[in-house]
Amino acid sequence: MSDARTPAPGHADHAAAVGTCPGATGTVPGPGLVAFDLDGTLAPSKSPLPEPMAAALRGLLDVVPVCVISGGQVAQFHDQVLTGLGASPAQLSRLHLMPTCGTRYYTYDPQGEGDSDGRGDWRLVYANDLTASQTREVLAVVEEEARRLGLWEDRTWGPVLEDRGSQVTFSALGQDAPLKAKEAWDPSGEKKSALRDAVAQRLPGLEVRSGGSTSVDITQKGVDKAYGMTRLARATGIPLAEMLFVGDRLDPGGNDYPVKALGVACRAVTGWEETAELVTELARELGSALADSDAAACAARTVSAPASTVAPTAVSPLPPSVPSAPGHQAPAVGAGGRG
- Of the options 1.10.10.10, 3.40.1370.10, 3.30.1240.20, 3.40.50.2300, the CATH number for the domain spanning 132-220: 3.30.1240.20
Q: Facing residues of 246 across strands?
A: 36, 267
Specify whether the CB–CB gap between 301 and 23 falls below 8 A.
yes
How does residue 78 score in pLDDT terms, banded at 50, 70 and 90? Answer: very high
- Burial group, residue 71, by CB count within 10 angstroms (0-12, 13-18, 19+): buried
Q: What is the mean pLDDT of residues 63-71?
A: 96
- Average pLDDT on 263-276 reads 98
Q: Are 240 and 324 in contact (CB under 8 A)?
A: no
Q: Are 42 and 270 in contact (CB under 8 A)?
A: no
Question: Distance (Å, rounded) from C-alpha 85 to C-alpha 279?
Answer: 14
Decide if pLDDT at 31 tops 60: yes
Who wins on pLDDT, 276 or 1?
A: 276
Q: What pLDDT band is residue 39 in, cutting at 50, 70 and 90?
A: very high
Q: Find the helix or strand (DSSP H, E) in which 215 lies.
A: strand 215-220
Q: Cα(192)–Cα(208) distance, rounded to whole angstroms?
A: 11
- Tell which residue, 219, 248, 259, has the closest CA to residue 39: 248
At 28 the pLDDT is 54
Find the mean pLDDT for residues 208-223.
90
Tell whether the model's pLDDT for residue 337 goes beyond 50: no
* Contact of 310 with 303, CB cutoff 8 Å: yes
Are 265 and 323 spatial neighbours (Cβ–Cβ below 8 Å)? yes
Domain(s) labelled CATH 3.40.50.1000 in the chain stretch across 12-128+223-287
Helix or strand holding residue 183 (H, E): helix 179-185
**Cβ partners under 8 Å of residue 80, min gap 6:** 38, 42, 43, 46, 47, 48, 49, 72
Q: With residue 265 as reference, give the H or E element that holds it.
A: strand 265-268
Q: Give pLDDT, residue 115.
A: 54
The three-class DSSP label of residue 71 is coil
Q: Please compute the mean of the pLDDT values over residues 258-287 and round it to a whole number.
A: 97
Can you give the pLDDT at residue 297?
Answer: 59
**Of 91, 105, 315, 128, which Cα lies nearest the Cα of 218?**
128
- Mean pLDDT throughout 60-71? 96
Lowest mean pLDDT among 82-91, 108-117, 161-170, 226-235: 108-117
Q: Residue 35, SS3?
A: strand
What pLDDT is attached to residue 299? Answer: 57
pLDDT, tens digit (0-9, with 9 covering 90-100), for 128-149: 999 999 999 999 999 999 999 9
Average pLDDT over residues 246-270: 94
Q: For residue 9, what pLDDT is reported? A: 54
**Distance between CA 17 and CA 24 in Å, rounded?**
12
Categorize the per-residue pLDDT at 212 as very low, low, confident or very high, splitting at 50, 70 and 90: confident
Q: In 3-state terms, what secondary structure has residue 327?
A: coil
Confidence band of 59 (pLDDT split at 50, 70, 90)? very high
pTM of the complete model beyond 0.85? no
Using CA atoms, how far apart are residues 260 and 253, in angstroms rounded to an integer? 11
Whether the CB-CB separation of 255 and 224 falls below 8 Å is answered with: yes
Q: Using CA atoms, how far apart are residues 216 and 200, in angstroms rounded to an integer?
A: 11
pLDDT higher than 80, residue 329: no
The pLDDT of residue 256: 94
Average pLDDT of the chain to the nearest whole number: 82
What are the Cα distances from residue 318, in Å, to 82, 175, 231? 28, 39, 27
What is the per-residue pLDDT for 290?
82
Report the CATH number of the 12-128+223-287 domain.
3.40.50.1000
> What single-letter DSSP state applies at residue 79?
I
Instruction: Give the pLDDT confidence of 301-323 residue by residue, as tens digits.
Output: 555 444 433 333 333 334 444 44
CATH 3.30.1240.20 residue window(s) in the chain: 132-220
